[in-house]
Amino acid sequence: MQSSLTLSVSSHTSLTIPRSNHAFEPSSKPINLRFCGLRREALGFSSLRQRSDSHRVRLASSTRGRRVFVSAASVSGNGSPPKSFDYDLLIIGAGVGGHGAALHAVEKGLKTAIIEGDVVGGTCVNRGCVPSKALLAVSGRMRELQNEHHLKALGLQVSAAGYDRQGVADHANNLATKIRSSLTNSMNALGVDILTGFGTILGPQKVKVGSNKVVTAKDIIIATGSVPFVPKGIEVDGKTVITSDHALKLEFVPDWIAIVGSGYIGLEFSDVYTALGSEVTFIEALDQLMPGFDPEIGKLAQRVLINPRKIDYHTGVFASKITPAKDGKPVIIELIDAKTKEPKDALEVDAALIATGRAPFTEGLGLDSINVATQRGFIPVDERMRVIDSSGNLVPHLYCIGDANGKMMLAHAASAQGISVVEQVTGRDHVLNHLSIPAACFTHPEISMVGLTEPQAREKAEKEGFEISIAKTSFKANTKALAENEGEGLAKLIYRPDNGEILGVHIFGLHAADLIHEASNAIALGTRIQDIKFAVHAHPTLSEVLDELFKSAKVKAHASSPGVSTNYSSPSIRRDLHIRERKNIQRELLNFLEAVGARIRPILASWYPSFVFLLTDILLTMIL
Positions marked catalytic: 539
User: What CA–CA distance (Å, rounded) separates 95 from 532?
Assistant: 35
Looking at the DSSP bridge assignments, the partners of residue 474 are: 490
Name the residue type at position 541.
Answer: T
Name the residue type at position 598.
Answer: A
8 Å CB contact between 567 and 560: no
CA neighbor of 123 nearest in space, from 102, 94, 91: 94
Catalogue the E-assigned strands of 67-204.
87-92, 112-116, 193-196, 199-203
* 228: three-class secondary structure by DSSP: strand
- DSSP per-residue letters across 260-273: E--SHHHHHHHHHH
Question: To the nearest 10°, the Cα dihedral for 194, 200, 206, 210?
Answer: -50
Name the residue type at position 145.
Answer: L
Q: Which H or E run contains 593? A: helix 571-604
Contacts of 205 (CB under 8 A, 6+ apart): 85, 216, 217, 218, 219, 220, 397
Distances (CA, A) of 281 to 94, 142, 254: 36, 21, 12
Distances (CA, A) of 419 to 55, 96, 99, 427, 527: 18, 11, 10, 13, 22
Q: Which residues of 134-164 are buried (b: 16+ CB within 10 A; e: fewer)?
A: bbbbbbbebbbbeeeeeeeeeeeeeeeeebe
CA neighbor of 536 nearest in space, from 513, 494, 508, 567: 567
User: What CA–CA distance (Å, rounded) separates 615 from 9?
Assistant: 8
Question: To the nearest 10°, the Cα dihedral for 118, 122, 128, 129?
Answer: -150
Q: Beta-carbon neighbour count of residue 47 at 10 Å?
A: 12
